[in-house]
Amino acid sequence: MGQGVKISELAEKMGLKNLTPTVDLADKRITVPEVNRPALQLTGFFDHFAYDRVQIVGYVEYTYLQTLEEDRKQQIYDELLSRQVPCIVFSSNLEPEEELLELARSRDIPVMQTSRQTSAFMGELIRWMNVKLAPCITIHGVLVDVYGVGVLIMGESGIGKSEAALELIKRGHRLVTDDVVEIRKVSDDTLVGSAPDITKHFIELRGIGIVDVKSMFGVQCVRETQNIDLVITLEEWNRDKEYDRLGLEENYTEFLGNKVVCHSIPIRPGRNLPIIMESAAVNHRQKKMGYNAAQELYKRVQENLVRKG
């Protein structure tokens, strides 16, 4: 199965201890971001059992298992593992019984352990898997964190996206990815952008070549992921085209069904693109906080007209 998250990657990311090292994790994957605490299943109720999820055994389930007679416990273990669950994780450093481990090894199902409390571990695991398993597309562009606003810079090849991003980095902002942006739909309101592993932290500058931003400017100038809050499209200046000069109405572009505010910035000699992008990011934050400069200007003009009338 080509889709999903590798269990080996999950174990490394979450710092899980593998209690069944003889089980090969190489080809085992998880395909759904939800988790399941098999409380009802441990009582014998397996109808509608979400067997394709990570199974998490917390203190309550663990304590309940200790109350069962050995024959009943073995029966529950056998029924649980016969469903080929992707893996079982014991939280709070709880130690599973050898009978369960032996049965898991025979069924080729990994059993792991974490020191984290159940609720905290579940929250972190779900958040991470929601990002990893979200619908994903790849586009051509540059993603930069400007004052905490994720700015996706788009435009034709060679128009100056990477150069603008480099200047933003020199001004203290952070690069997420250059040239190739992987966009994941985490929710109906959130798009998260990241870099492919092969191009992470690199920028291509025509005439110079590849630049390693992390090595040149330090780790404070890069980040792994960033929400996409604003799209800026660079285009050649067209004297015959009318450009928005007030910003009373928002324009949007769409990725994976989610709409993102979009500004088109015409390129012309003498225009300082980094400062324009910084201003756009701050203006976007102001609008999110309830202040719209264009509407304030419109309001003042209307009030002035009323006074003169």
Asked if residue 155 belongs to a known ligand binding site, the reply is yes
Report the candidate in 79, 91, 74 with the shortest Cα–Cα distance to residue 35.
91
Q: How far apart are CA 12 and CA 35, in angstroms?
A: 18
* Phi, psi values for residue 86, rounded to 5°: -65, -40
Which pairs count as long-range contacts for 39-48, CB under 8 Å and 24+ apart, including other chains? Answer: 39/64, 41/76, 41/79, 41/80, 42/76, 42/80, 44/76, 44/79, 46/79, 46/83
Q: How far apart are CA 142 and CA 153, in angstroms?
A: 5
Asked if 146 and 277 touch (Cβ cutoff 8 Å), the reply is yes
Asked if residue 287 belongs to a known ligand binding site, the reply is no
Asked if residue 115 belongs to a known ligand binding site, the reply is no
Asked if residue 161 belongs to a known ligand binding site, the reply is yes
Asked if 102 and 75 touch (Cβ cutoff 8 Å), the reply is no
Torsion of CA 281, 287, 293, 298, to 10 degrees: 140
By annotation, the residues acting in catalysis are 140, 161, 179, 245
Amino acid found at 197: D
How many of the other CB atoms lie within 10 Å of CB of 14? 17
Asked if residue 160 belongs to a known ligand binding site, the reply is yes
Amino acid found at 18: N
Q: How far apart are CA 129 and CA 143, in angstroms?
A: 22
Going by the annotation, the residues of the binding site are 155-162, 204
Going by the annotation, the residues of the binding site for Mg(2+) are 162, 204
Going by the annotation, the residues of the binding site for ATP are 155-162
